[in-house]
Structure 1
């Protein structure tokens, strides 16, 4: 089996590649064994793509890296040929950036996905796994979203992801393509670019700086370790039903203020290091995923407790300053 991973030098995509290639500590328990004949990573290497994320597998003869844009039809056509599975991570994903300028999000997330789908259709790719987000559902005050919940995105980022979800599912219904969509809750773990809340807060605190807390800190998110997320994707890749959506959650909901408290404690810092900032425009109040479907159909359940996962993540950032310090120093426009 030959697997193409788009965005495979990013945070989640690189974890998936390391897992596929069996890095010690990266092989997912509870997932049927995959021994791919080859894994191709297609990544544009924007500010959040980092070849260092693939260092643990760079010498694996099964790995091929191609620097390229998923919107470039010629590059995509050449790369897709000969692959049995596409796992599509590549996306613009930072909400604040999408508020400042939506065009790159629509271009990459919608048109880029369409370019990949067209190539997969043309080359008869066996399975197309489209990796998405719970943000496409909007915000929910009570209860949890099932996969049949109406989509109601509230940011340009989530709207672009909702569009790509619907496009992928349309290719299944129209062309009979073997498409599976996954929607995850908030990820955390090693190798996460330090614009996201957990690595931003941890790196700032480790440097003796302050951290920004939006609004009243009452926004609620469900936290999912990146390794558990990739386990869920692997199960969907291998056993998911074509044309279906699978929610992948972590099972631990926290307010942003509660999360901040845990990170302060883990870094030995006090609340004097927290700076309240004006709330984000259109800030969704609460996300919550129902994972009954993936649990019952595919056997998925989160395996990494948030307390342990956060401790491991903070320690990883303590031990890997050489990875994140240059990223914080570099311009990201």
Structure 2
């Protein structure tokens, strides 16, 4: 099979593309390089530079490369910024997904794995989020991801699209020595950039209703997330039963303050983070069960916090060495 990976030049997308290639699948990447990097694209993957808003490019790519399935990771992924730029967020994530689905329908591609997000849950009033937890997104980003799931659901009803959506939590670490998280808004790159510049990292919000006052998140390793995509893709290809939605969660939570402590240990840099105000759109706590994904997608959080930090730090330092 040939899988089209949208956003395959990004941090998560490049890991997914590499995992597919490692499993013997053919891969073509479409990415506009607005946040991805061409040097992140794994050797062996074909590359078409362009936007998922360009239906002609998508249709031509699918036909020329004889694409048989799509893993859709392209999108505008910044929850806080989406509150300031809602129209841009909806254009990229909703219009872009609709354009992609239209190209798939016209070219006869009938399988999609969709990169969704834990942000569809908002701030759930439960200790452990499951797929049955009500969705209540609190940012245009979260809303756009939920609408993307609805688009897949409705297209499945109309055309028989085989699909599943993977709701991510906090994806960290590195499984490729040349790939690291370049987001200007995610915790790990913010902390690493500050340390490499000789500065002091900051914690956004220390007054949340959590044990130490900082946000609690479900951190998962990017390689584990990538492997779940491969299993989901192959399950779709085989025609096996698959759920419409899976949480890729570890079932355990780690606070931002605990992350800071782990980074200090792994990097050997002693620092005391400064306190800053909360970021808009950040829930206090969100931790999810991964039981359903473990049952169907061989999902497991195989890397502990120290391994996540150490692999992320090693990849981030390499470009500067």
- Normalised by the length of structure 2, the TM-score is 0.89
Instruction: Name the residue aligned to 1:19.
Output: 19
**How much does 1:267 deviate?**
2.6
Instruction: Name the residue aligned to 1:30.
Output: none
Instruction: Name the residue aligned to 1:276.
Output: 275
Corresponding residue SS for 1:5: strand
Question: What are the ranges of 5 or more consecutive residues in structure 2 without an aligned counterpart?
Answer: 175-179, 207-212
What does 1:199-238 align with in structure 2 at a 5 Å threshold? 199-216=189-206, 217-238=213-234
Corresponding residue SS for 1:16: helix
Instruction: Name the residue aligned to 1:150.
Output: 134
Corresponding residue SS for 1:125: coil
Contact 2:200 2:271 in 1 (8 A): no
Instruction: Name the residue aligned to 1:331.
Output: none
1:117 counterpart = 2:113: no
Instruction: Name the residue aligned to 2:264.
Output: 264
Alignment deviations for residues 191-223 of structure 1 (CA, whole Å, 9 cap, x no partner):
211412102202211321121211115211000
Instruction: Name the residue aligned to 2:27.
Output: 39
Distance of 2:140 and 2:200 partners within structure 1: 28
Alignment deviations for residues 71-128 of structure 1 (CA, whole Å, 9 cap, x no partner):
1111122122321110000011012321221222100100100111111122221311
**Aligned-residue CA RMSD (Å):** 1.8
Contact 1:3 1:40 in 2 (8 A): yes
1:187 counterpart = 2:187: no
Alignment deviations for residues 149-182 of structure 1 (CA, whole Å, 9 cap, x no partner):
2211011211111111111122112322111111
Corresponding residue SS for 1:132: strand
Cα distance 1:65–1:244, how it changes in 2: closer, same or farther (>3 A)?
same
Alignment deviations for residues 271-300 of structure 1 (CA, whole Å, 9 cap, x no partner):
44x221111124211111121111122332
Corresponding residue SS for 2:292: helix
Question: What are the ranges of 5 or more consecutive residues in structure 1 without an aligned counterpart?
Answer: 23-33, 323-333
Distance of 1:72 and 1:153 partners within structure 2: 28
What does 1:299-318 align with in structure 2 at a 5 Å threshold? 299-318=298-317
Corresponding residue SS for 1:224: strand
**How much does 1:242 deviate?**
4.9
Distance of 1:17 and 1:234 partners within structure 2: 9
Distance of 1:239 and 1:120 partners within structure 2: 19
Distance of 2:104 and 2:312 partners within structure 1: 36
Corresponding residue SS for 1:40: strand
Distance of 1:6 and 1:174 partners within structure 2: 23
What does 1:59-70 align with in structure 2 at a 5 Å threshold? 60=44, 63-70=45-52
Distance of 1:140 and 1:220 partners within structure 2: 12
Corresponding residue SS for 1:192: coil
Instruction: Name the residue aligned to 2:74.
Output: 90
1:101 counterpart = 2:85: yes
Instruction: Name the residue aligned to 1:31.
Output: none
Corresponding residue SS for 2:218: strand
